[in-house]
Amino acid sequence: MINTQNIPADKLVRITFQPEGKSVEFEYGTMPYDHHGKPMSFLDVAENFDIFLDHACGGACACTTCHLWIKEGEAGISEADDDEIDRLDMAADQQLNSRLGCQAIVTRPGSYVVEIPKWNRNYVSEGKPLTLAEGK
């Protein structure tokens, strides 16, 4: 976790990526855009903090490998547009809280929890090993 001592509480964004339980914190509006998905998307945040979230299409909303479930904080996330909704129709195990990590944008400070579905986690992709305990 990065140093959050100087971040005003009303500007703090905390995102927890499950099942790893890894949380990242940053000041809203200050994270550099890393060109993975839309700016401030969960994929963009994951890439900025070296958290593995597969994205075979590079974050262009052309696949479903960054599919995740929003567990907490839905009110602070952008609404899905038609392109994302159409793409999600192809995702395995779609749920009411399903979103594409490259398209779901954090729109305000707050706490968020997202889960990367087990079947969507690759052990090695883009040279990045996923650090999960065996059997999860």
pLDDT at position 98, please? 97
**pLDDT digit string, tens, across residues 81-126:** 999 999 999 998 999 999 999 999 999 999 999 999 887 655 434 4
Contact 83, 2 (CB under 8 A): no
Does residue 96 fall inside a structural domain? yes
Does residue 6 fall inside a structural domain? no
Total number of domains in the chain: 1
User: What CATH number does the domain containing 21 carry?
Assistant: 3.10.20.30
Does residue 82 fall inside a structural domain? yes
Does residue 75 fall inside a structural domain? yes
Residue 134, pLDDT above cutoff 50:
no
Confidence of residue 127 (pLDDT cuts 50, 70, 90): very low
Tokens of 106: 């954090």
Torsion sign, CA atoms 24, 134, 69, 99: positive
**Domain span including residue 69:** 16-119
Is the model more confident about 10 or about 131?
Answer: 10
Does residue 136 fall inside a structural domain? no
DSSP assignment string, 26-80: EETT-SPP-SSSSTTBHHHHHHHTT-----TTSSSSSSSTTEEEEEE-GGGBPPP
Is the model more confident about 128 or about 121?
Answer: 121
Does residue 126 fall inside a structural domain? no
Cis peptide bond N-terminal to 19, omega within 30? yes
Write down the number of H helices and E strands in the chain.
2, 7
Does residue 35 fall inside a structural domain? yes
**pLDDT digit string, tens, across residues 25-77:** 999 999 888 788 999 999 999 999 999 999 999 999 999 999 999 999 999 99
pLDDT at position 125, please? 42
Confidence of residue 4 (pLDDT cuts 50, 70, 90): low
Query: What is the reported pTM?
Result: 0.84
For 23-32, the CB contacts below 8 A with 24+ separation are: 24/49, 24/51, 25/1, 26/2, 28/106, 28/108, 28/109
Does residue 132 fall inside a structural domain? no
Residue 35 has phi, psi (to 5 degrees) of 60, 35
Q: Strand pairing of 128-129 and 67-72?
A: unpaired
- The CA distance from 53 to 29, in Å, is 21
